[in-house]
Protein backbone atom coordinates (compact mmCIF):
# COMPACT_ATOMS: atom_id res chain seq x y z
CA UNK A 1 0.00 0.00 0.00
CA UNK A 2 1.52 3.30 -1.07
CA UNK A 3 0.91 6.36 1.09
CA UNK A 4 1.79 9.93 0.19
CA UNK A 5 1.68 12.64 2.83
CA UNK A 6 -0.24 15.81 2.00
CA UNK A 7 2.33 18.61 1.61
CA UNK A 8 2.16 21.47 4.11
CA UNK A 9 -0.90 20.07 5.91
CA UNK A 10 -2.15 21.94 8.99
CA UNK A 11 -3.86 21.19 12.29
CA UNK A 12 -7.62 20.81 11.86
CA UNK A 13 -8.20 23.09 14.86
CA UNK A 14 -9.13 20.25 17.20
CA UNK A 15 -11.91 20.72 19.74
CA UNK A 16 -10.77 24.08 21.09
CA UNK A 17 -10.94 26.00 17.79
CA UNK A 18 -14.29 24.50 16.91
CA UNK A 19 -15.65 25.62 20.27
CA UNK A 20 -14.47 29.22 19.85
CA UNK A 21 -14.52 30.23 16.18
CA UNK A 22 -16.64 28.26 13.70
CA UNK A 23 -15.33 30.25 10.74
CA UNK A 24 -11.69 29.55 11.57
CA UNK A 25 -12.52 25.90 12.23
CA UNK A 26 -14.09 25.55 8.78
CA UNK A 27 -11.12 27.28 7.14
CA UNK A 28 -8.52 25.10 8.87
CA UNK A 29 -10.26 21.84 8.01
CA UNK A 30 -11.12 23.00 4.49
CA UNK A 31 -7.50 23.86 3.72
CA UNK A 32 -6.52 20.22 4.16
CA UNK A 33 -9.39 19.16 1.90
CA UNK A 34 -8.19 21.57 -0.80
CA UNK A 35 -4.61 20.29 -0.49
CA UNK A 36 -5.66 16.66 -0.95
CA UNK A 37 -5.56 15.20 -4.48
CA UNK A 38 -9.07 14.60 -5.77
CA UNK A 39 -8.28 11.26 -7.43
CA UNK A 40 -7.25 9.39 -4.27
CA UNK A 41 -8.95 8.83 -0.88
CA UNK A 42 -7.69 10.93 2.00
CA UNK A 43 -6.52 8.54 4.73
CA UNK A 44 -6.97 9.91 8.27
CA UNK A 45 -5.78 8.26 11.49
CA UNK A 46 -6.95 10.80 14.10
CA UNK A 47 -10.64 10.59 15.11
CA UNK A 48 -10.79 14.34 15.79
CA UNK A 49 -9.32 15.21 12.39
CA UNK A 50 -11.65 12.70 10.73
CA UNK A 51 -14.66 14.34 12.38
CA UNK A 52 -13.63 17.92 11.64
CA UNK A 53 -12.71 17.25 8.02
CA UNK A 54 -15.93 15.27 7.58
CA UNK A 55 -18.01 18.12 8.96
CA UNK A 56 -16.16 20.62 6.75
CA UNK A 57 -16.80 18.49 3.68
CA UNK A 58 -20.49 18.22 4.56
CA UNK A 59 -20.75 21.98 5.11
CA UNK A 60 -19.10 22.76 1.77
CA UNK A 61 -21.39 20.31 -0.01
CA UNK A 62 -24.60 21.64 1.55
CA UNK A 63 -24.01 25.37 2.12
CA UNK A 64 -23.48 27.17 -1.19
CA UNK A 65 -22.58 30.53 0.37
CA UNK A 66 -19.92 29.10 2.70
CA UNK A 67 -18.54 27.04 -0.15
CA UNK A 68 -18.33 30.13 -2.36
CA UNK A 69 -16.44 32.06 0.32
CA UNK A 70 -14.02 29.22 1.02
CA UNK A 71 -13.37 28.62 -2.68
CA UNK A 72 -12.76 32.34 -3.15
CA UNK A 73 -10.33 32.35 -0.24
CA UNK A 74 -8.29 29.39 -1.53
CA UNK A 75 -8.63 30.35 -5.17
CA UNK A 76 -9.82 26.99 -6.47
CA UNK A 77 -12.87 24.76 -6.68
CA UNK A 78 -13.71 22.23 -3.98
CA UNK A 79 -13.58 18.56 -4.91
CA UNK A 80 -17.02 17.52 -3.67
CA UNK A 81 -16.42 13.81 -4.27
CA UNK A 82 -13.21 13.60 -2.23
CA UNK A 83 -13.38 10.39 -0.19
CA UNK A 84 -12.38 10.50 3.48
CA UNK A 85 -11.09 7.15 4.69
CA UNK A 86 -10.43 6.43 8.35
CA UNK A 87 -7.47 4.18 9.08
CA UNK A 88 -9.77 1.61 10.68
CA UNK A 89 -11.64 1.22 7.40
CA UNK A 90 -8.34 0.45 5.67
CA UNK A 91 -7.43 -2.09 8.36
CA UNK A 92 -10.83 -3.76 8.04
CA UNK A 93 -10.39 -4.01 4.27
CA UNK A 94 -6.90 -5.46 4.74
CA UNK A 95 -8.27 -8.01 7.20
CA UNK A 96 -11.03 -9.08 4.80
CA UNK A 97 -8.46 -9.38 2.01
CA UNK A 98 -6.35 -11.73 4.11
CA UNK A 99 -3.47 -9.27 4.46
CA UNK A 100 -3.06 -10.22 8.14
CA UNK A 101 -2.87 -13.95 7.48
CA UNK A 102 0.86 -14.10 8.23
CA UNK A 103 0.31 -12.15 11.47
CA UNK A 104 -2.47 -14.39 12.80
CA UNK A 105 -1.95 -15.24 16.47
CA UNK A 106 0.80 -12.66 16.96
CA UNK A 107 -1.03 -10.93 19.84
CA UNK A 108 -1.09 -14.21 21.80
CA UNK A 109 -4.60 -13.79 23.23
CA UNK A 110 -3.82 -10.42 24.81
CA UNK A 111 -7.07 -9.28 26.46
CA UNK A 112 -7.89 -5.89 24.96
CA UNK A 113 -10.51 -3.27 25.82
CA UNK A 114 -11.10 -1.38 22.56
CA UNK A 115 -11.61 2.31 23.27
CA UNK A 116 -12.90 4.59 20.51
CA UNK A 117 -13.71 7.69 22.55
CA UNK A 118 -16.40 10.09 21.39
CA UNK A 119 -14.89 11.61 18.24
CA UNK A 120 -15.73 8.63 16.04
CA UNK A 121 -19.39 8.96 16.97
CA UNK A 122 -21.35 10.46 14.09
CA UNK A 123 -23.31 13.70 14.68
CA UNK A 124 -26.94 13.44 13.47
CA UNK A 125 -26.21 15.29 10.24
CA UNK A 126 -23.43 12.80 9.46
CA UNK A 127 -25.35 9.63 10.26
CA UNK A 128 -24.96 8.33 6.70
CA UNK A 129 -21.21 8.07 7.15
CA UNK A 130 -19.59 4.67 7.90
CA UNK A 131 -19.84 3.36 11.45
CA UNK A 132 -16.34 2.63 12.77
CA UNK A 133 -17.30 0.92 16.00
CA UNK A 134 -16.25 -2.72 16.05
CA UNK A 135 -13.32 -2.26 13.67
CA UNK A 136 -10.66 -2.26 16.42
CA UNK A 137 -12.05 -5.55 17.72
CA UNK A 138 -12.13 -7.00 14.22
CA UNK A 139 -8.50 -6.08 13.57
CA UNK A 140 -7.26 -7.21 16.99
CA UNK A 141 -9.03 -10.55 16.60
CA UNK A 142 -7.42 -11.05 13.18
CA UNK A 143 -4.03 -10.50 14.84
CA UNK A 144 -4.72 -12.97 17.65
CA UNK A 145 -5.96 -10.64 20.37
CA UNK A 146 -8.99 -11.26 22.59
CA UNK A 147 -11.22 -8.15 22.76
CA UNK A 148 -13.37 -8.01 25.89
CA UNK A 149 -16.96 -6.88 26.24
CA UNK A 150 -17.32 -3.63 28.18
CA UNK A 151 -19.56 -0.59 28.31
CA UNK A 152 -17.19 2.37 27.99
CA UNK A 153 -15.77 2.03 24.48
CA UNK A 154 -17.45 5.24 23.30
CA UNK A 155 -17.41 7.26 26.54
CA UNK A 156 -15.76 10.69 26.33
CA UNK A 157 -12.47 11.07 28.24
CA UNK A 158 -12.97 14.83 28.69
CA UNK A 159 -10.81 15.83 25.69
CA UNK A 160 -9.45 19.41 26.12
CA UNK A 161 -11.22 19.74 29.49
CA UNK A 162 -8.26 17.77 30.84
CA UNK A 163 -6.42 21.11 30.82
CA UNK A 164 -9.18 23.62 31.59
CA UNK A 165 -11.34 21.48 33.93
CA UNK A 166 -9.14 18.57 35.09
CA UNK A 167 -11.57 17.47 37.81
CA UNK A 168 -14.23 16.73 35.19
CA UNK A 169 -11.78 14.82 33.01
CA UNK A 170 -10.44 12.84 35.97
CA UNK A 171 -13.93 11.69 36.90
CA UNK A 172 -14.62 10.51 33.35
CA UNK A 173 -11.21 8.85 32.96
CA UNK A 174 -11.43 6.89 36.21
CA UNK A 175 -14.84 5.57 35.24
CA UNK A 176 -13.39 4.34 31.95
CA UNK A 177 -10.25 2.82 33.49
CA UNK A 178 -12.21 1.09 36.25
CA UNK A 179 -14.59 -0.33 33.66
CA UNK A 180 -11.67 -1.78 31.68
CA UNK A 181 -10.22 -3.43 34.77
CA UNK A 182 -13.58 -4.90 35.76
CA UNK A 183 -14.03 -6.33 32.26
CA UNK A 184 -10.90 -8.45 32.69
CA UNK A 185 -8.87 -6.53 30.11
CA UNK A 186 -5.10 -6.49 30.38
CA UNK A 187 -4.83 -3.22 28.49
CA UNK A 188 -6.79 -0.54 26.65
CA UNK A 189 -6.23 0.06 22.93
CA UNK A 190 -7.32 3.54 21.93
CA UNK A 191 -8.07 5.12 18.58
CA UNK A 192 -7.07 8.62 19.66
CA UNK A 193 -3.71 10.00 20.81
CA UNK A 194 -5.39 12.65 22.97
CA UNK A 195 -7.53 10.00 24.66
CA UNK A 196 -4.35 7.99 25.25
CA UNK A 197 -2.75 10.94 27.03
CA UNK A 198 -5.83 11.76 29.10
CA UNK A 199 -6.29 8.16 30.23
CA UNK A 200 -2.71 8.01 31.46
CA UNK A 201 -2.42 11.40 33.17
CA UNK A 202 -5.86 11.65 34.79
CA UNK A 203 -6.38 8.20 36.30
CA UNK A 204 -6.05 7.42 40.00
CA UNK A 205 -3.27 5.00 41.10
CA UNK A 206 -5.79 2.25 41.91
CA UNK A 207 -7.26 2.38 38.40
CA UNK A 208 -4.05 2.09 36.40
CA UNK A 209 -4.06 -0.26 33.42
CA UNK A 210 -1.70 -0.02 30.42
CA UNK A 211 -2.94 2.04 27.48
CA UNK A 212 -1.76 1.63 23.89
CA UNK A 213 -2.46 3.59 20.74
CA UNK A 214 -3.68 1.15 18.09
CA UNK A 215 -0.55 1.81 15.99
CA UNK A 216 1.62 0.46 18.82
CA UNK A 217 -0.32 -2.79 18.87
CA UNK A 218 0.01 -3.11 15.10
CA UNK A 219 3.77 -2.66 15.44
CA UNK A 220 3.90 -5.25 18.22
CA UNK A 221 2.03 -7.77 16.08
CA UNK A 222 4.27 -7.14 13.09
CA UNK A 223 7.65 -7.17 14.85
CA UNK A 224 6.90 -9.63 17.64
CA UNK A 225 8.80 -7.51 20.14
CA UNK A 226 8.61 -4.15 21.86
CA UNK A 227 11.26 -1.48 22.29
CA UNK A 228 11.95 -0.72 25.96
CA UNK A 229 13.10 2.77 24.94
CA UNK A 230 9.72 3.42 23.34
CA UNK A 231 7.73 1.86 26.18
CA UNK A 232 9.48 4.16 28.65
CA UNK A 233 7.53 7.01 27.05
CA UNK A 234 4.34 5.59 28.56
CA UNK A 235 3.16 7.12 31.82
CA UNK A 236 1.61 3.80 32.88
CA UNK A 237 4.26 1.08 32.62
CA UNK A 238 3.11 -1.58 30.11
CA UNK A 239 6.16 -3.83 30.57
CA UNK A 240 4.65 -6.12 33.26
CA UNK A 241 1.82 -7.03 30.87
CA UNK A 242 3.96 -7.35 27.75
CA UNK A 243 6.85 -9.33 29.22
CA UNK A 244 4.56 -12.30 29.91
CA UNK A 245 4.32 -12.77 26.12
CA UNK A 246 7.12 -10.86 24.39
CA UNK A 247 10.72 -9.86 24.77
CA UNK A 248 10.88 -6.27 26.02
* More confidently predicted of 75 and 120: 75
The answer to whether residues 53 and 42 touch, using CB atoms and an 8 Å cutoff, is yes
pLDDT band at 200 (very low <50, low <70, confident <90, very high): very high
Q: What is the pLDDT of residue 245?
A: 85
Q: How many residues does the chain have?
A: 248
Query: For the stretch 129-141, what's the b/e string if a residue is b when 16 or more beta carbons lie within 10 angstroms of its beta carbon?
Result: beebeebbbebbb
| pLDDT at residue 121, as a whole number | 74
- Residue 97 resides in a domain: no
Same domain flag for 72 and 117: no
> What is the C-alpha radius of gyration for the chain, rounded to an integer number of angstroms?
19
Residue with the larger pLDDT of the pair 211 and 104: 211
Segment 116-136 mean pLDDT:
77
Q: Is residue 221 part of a domain?
A: yes
Instruction: Dump pLDDT digits (tens) for 147-161.
Output: 999 999 999 999 888
Tell me, yes or no, whether 141 and 235 share the same domain.
yes
pLDDT, residue 209, reads 96
Note whether residue 92 is domain-resident. Answer: no
Does residue 143 share a domain with residue 54? no
- pLDDT per residue as tens digits for the range 11-68: 998 877 877 889 999 999 999 999 999 889 999 999 999 999 999 999 999 999 999 9
Q: Do residues 132 and 173 both lie within one domain?
A: yes
Average pLDDT score over the chain: 90
If one counts the domains in the chain, the total is 2
Boundaries of domain holding 189: 102-242
Summarize pLDDT for 84-122 with one digit per residue, the tens.
999 988 888 887 767 788 888 889 999 999 999 988 876
Strand ranges inside the chain, DSSP E:
42-44, 84-86, 111-115, 146-147, 187-190, 211-213
Question: For residue 103, what pLDDT is reported?
Answer: 82
Amino acid sequence: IGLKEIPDWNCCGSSSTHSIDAGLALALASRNLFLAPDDKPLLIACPGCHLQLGEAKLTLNTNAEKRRRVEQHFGESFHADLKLLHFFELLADMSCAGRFKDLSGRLKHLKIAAYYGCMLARPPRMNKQPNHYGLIEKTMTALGGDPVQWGYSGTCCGTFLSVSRPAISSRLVNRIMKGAIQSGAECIVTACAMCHLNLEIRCAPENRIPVFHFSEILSLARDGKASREWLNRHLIDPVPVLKTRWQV
